Amino acid sequence: MPENGLLRVLTPDQVTEQKNKKEAELGSILLGNQKEDFQTNLAAYIRKCWEEAKKAKRDVLEQILKNKRQIEGKYEPDVLATLQAANVPIYFMMLTFAKCRSAVSWLKEAICQPGNKIWDIEPTPQPQLPPDAEKAVQEKFFSNIFSLVASKIAMQGQEVNPFAIIEAIRPIIVDFEKDREAILKKEAKKRCDRIREKLDDVLTEGSFYDALQDFLVDVVLKTGFLKGPVKRKVPSIKVKLVDGRGKPEPVDEMIDVFERRSPFNIYPQPGSVDINDGYLIDHIRMRPKELRALKGVPGFKDSEIDAVLEKYREGGLREWLDYEAEKREILEEEEGSFHSLDERIDCLEFWGTVQGKMLLNWGYEGEEKIEELEEYDIVAWLIGEHVIGAMLNPDLLKRKPFYKVSYAEEQDAFWGKGLPEIIEAVQRACNACARAIIHNVGIASGPQVEIDKDRLAPGEEAQVRPWRVWLTTNDQFQNRPAITFYAPPMVVERLIGVYKFFSNLADEYCGIPGYAHGETQIGGAGNTASGLSMLITQSSRGIKALVQDIDRKVIVPAVENEYYNVIQEIENLDIIPDFKIVAKGAMALLAKEQMAIRRIEFLQMTNNPQDIQIMGVDGRRYLLKTAAKALDLEPEEVVPKKEELEGMAVQPIASQRKPQTLGPGGEPVVGTDFRQFNPYGMNAG
């Protein structure tokens, strides 16, 4: 920025000349005087990939900008010029804006519900605990049984005989083997609960849920990208004890974070169809302070970072990509949209495969041994001609920490379609109808007047106003009136019918009906509450499919990646290797009213002695709590706690239990039903 605070304005020829000069200088630097080729120079290779990806994305970038204009209610520059030349009303119907806003609201309601997790971790149907865990379950069971049987024998005044104890517990061991699977499932569930709490805490601290909400807007626009988990230094406050008193101090913590990445900043390899298909470049912008904070971080070179900061302070590297000019060229009339006067530095974050000799020539000093002819998945950061950092992909399966979903996926294509693209033709038709309606209203609002100027008296002006008295002559002996009024027809109703036709097509194309965002004139089955509920359920199928894509392509893989990071960093967590991550977003689209009705019907249907005997008091209590929650009631205020039910005479199946064999003093005899005993602190029945 000049010292006087003014921007320098260049002609198109000067911009082109400056661009070519920069590219020639940078190309000379990257290739070097020794003419290193792309096989050995890591910086040159990344720059080459960037130029290819940028060129291939130009059409996609134009489409994204076109979609944004359509949502914001702006005409394309060429269309606007044509309308202005034709002197027609410039009016843009905000149909796309309403559909996109409604789509984002539906997605947020289905995925980001307060108090409900959008994912869960569950053991598989046949969980396989680690050998030490299964052994611990068995040892704890036998220890509890031996202690219990020995104490019972001692209470009866008998001598503790190990052989008698073994004979007494032999039938219990047989029952234990039968119920072993149930015990292991409960133990697996218990460990799942422990890892779930830890994982949820890490995701919350890493802004996973916030980034997911921001990501949904881009899904509707074109293609949404979520990035993570990636390591970031985050400032926080820690309380330290100083002289026995807590003192808050600022510290920097290295945590896993998730962030929404704009589709403007993602550049895939030309021809790739998925995130992990070929290289991918993320165009990021860093402040000098953020760049300096990378010094000392493993994988980064302090000397390269210092060289970048020195050049930047001297006035270089501020627009080394020369990309803002290209964006302004595409935007045309929106020249200031992407231009920024802040101090951020453009950086290319490269995720892809390179040969080992590139890493060795750059000076890679990691713990892994690098072979020159081997291919390695890496992440590297390029600023100007400096690769400030490079490291092997930290993911166990060498996947990139990016996830993407489009509103309408396209087979064998990286970029899908956004909602504005789907209804673009309909939007244009609705705009044309709106312009015609306004034009017709203006023309038909008053009469068209024809005046025979030859019959006007000298000095008369051809001006129409109320109660005007016209002075005319009849020098030409003409019999027709001097002034004639015409009433142009008002065809607004027919034009509105055409508009509604195209608006209904938009509902069909995008799957967002008008009544989903406030339309009251529905008609037919939509005039009743139950009919409207059925229509909404049917129309939400498209959104359900989109939510399922988000579950499958974003939520599940992102949570799985974070899970592996958690179990690598935490020791002695007793984790469960035999698990599965499940997403619950699609289920949330079911109408709550319908689910409440079904629960109440089930509650009434099972209100009979036979079913109550089967489900027991605990099962009945669970149904009552679920029904109360569905009716927005406080379950704890309606249904007593489990402890309170123990002393109440409402246990119909207590009398149905198998009678126990009692001793002379009324105490249970050793060797009774296994379900009396509670090995591992759980009821296996």
pLDDT tens digits for 58-67? Answer: 999 999 999 9
Residue 601 belongs to a domain = yes
How far, in Å, CA of 599 to CA of 592, rounded? 11
- CB distance 389 to 294 below 8 Å: yes
**pLDDT for residue 266 is more than 90:** yes
Residue 140 belongs to a domain = no
H or E element, residue 495: helix 492-510
Residue 668 belongs to a domain = no
For residue 467, what pLDDT is reported? Answer: 85
What's the whole-number average pLDDT of the chain? 78
**DSSP letters for 611-626:** HHHHHHHHHHHHHHHH
**pLDDT for residue 682 is more than 50:** no
For residue 89, what pLDDT is reported? Answer: 85
For residue 16, what pLDDT is reported? Answer: 60
Q: Return the closest-CA partner of residue 91 out of 78, 75, 71, 77.
A: 75
For residue 431, what pLDDT is reported? Answer: 95
- Which tops the pLDDT comparison, 22 or 447? 447
Residue 638 belongs to a domain = yes
Question: Band of the pLDDT at 427, cuts 50, 70, 90?
Answer: very high
Which is it for strands 345-355 and 223-242: parallel, antiparallel or unpaired?
unpaired
Please state the domain count of the chain.
Answer: 1
Residue 155 belongs to a domain = no
Percentage of the chain with pLDDT > 90? 35
For residue 327, what pLDDT is reported? Answer: 54
Residue 611 belongs to a domain = yes
Phi, psi of 244 (to 5 degrees): 80, 5
How far, in Å, CA of 459 to CA of 470, rounded? 11
Q: Return the closest-CA partner of residue 133 out of 200, 171, 189.
A: 189
Residue 329 belongs to a domain = no
For residue 136, what pLDDT is reported? Answer: 64
**pLDDT for residue 241 is more than 90:** no
Query: In which domain, by residue range, is 599 found?
Result: 592-658
Question: Band of the pLDDT at 188, cuts 50, 70, 90?
Answer: confident
pLDDT tens digits for 74-96? Answer: 999 999 999 999 888 888 999 99
- Which tops the pLDDT comparison, 542 or 605? 605
C-alpha dihedral, 404 to 409 to 414 to 417, nearest 10°: -100
Range scoring the smallest mean pLDDT among 294-303, 407-416, 528-537: 528-537
For residue 116, what pLDDT is reported? Answer: 73
- Which tops the pLDDT comparison, 44 or 141? 44
pLDDT tens digits for 326-345? Answer: 555 554 444 444 444 557 88
For residue 676, what pLDDT is reported? Answer: 42
How far, in Å, CA of 228 to CA of 221, rounded? 21
Question: Band of the pLDDT at 541, cuts 50, 70, 90?
Answer: low
Q: Which residues pair with 255 in a beta bridge?
A: 232
- Which tops the pLDDT comparison, 540 or 591? 540
For residue 366, what pLDDT is reported? Answer: 82
Which is it for strands 245-261 and 223-242: parallel, antiparallel or unpaired?
antiparallel
Amino acid identity of residue 532, one-letter, is L
pLDDT tens digits for 550-606? Answer: 999 999 999 999 988 888 776 555 555 567 888 876 555 455 556 666 777 787 888
How far, in Å, CA of 553 to CA of 416, rounded? 14
Range scoring the smallest mean pLDDT among 289-298, 429-438, 482-491, 656-665: 656-665
- CB distance 457 to 471 below 8 Å: yes
Distance of CA 310 to the CA centre of its chain: 38
pLDDT tens digits for 210-228? Answer: 999 999 999 999 999 999 9
Q: Return the closest-CA partner of residue 409 out of 417, 398, 421.
A: 417
Residue 294 belongs to a domain = no
- Which tops the pLDDT comparison, 457 or 379? 379
Question: Band of the pLDDT at 110, cuts 50, 70, 90?
Answer: confident
Range scoring the smallest mean pLDDT among 188-202, 358-372, 373-387: 188-202
Exposure class string for 511-545: b at 16+ Cβ within 10 A, else e: bbbbbbeeeeeeeeebeeeeeeeebeeebbebbbe
pLDDT tens digits for 481-535? Answer: 888 888 889 999 999 999 999 998 988 888 887 655 555 455 444 445 455 455 4
pTM of the entire predicted model: 0.73
Q: Evaluate the omega torsion of the peptide bond into residue 664 and state whether it is cis, within 30 degrees of 0.
A: no
Amino acid identity of residue 468, one-letter, is R
Kindly state the average pLDDT of the residues 235-247: 78
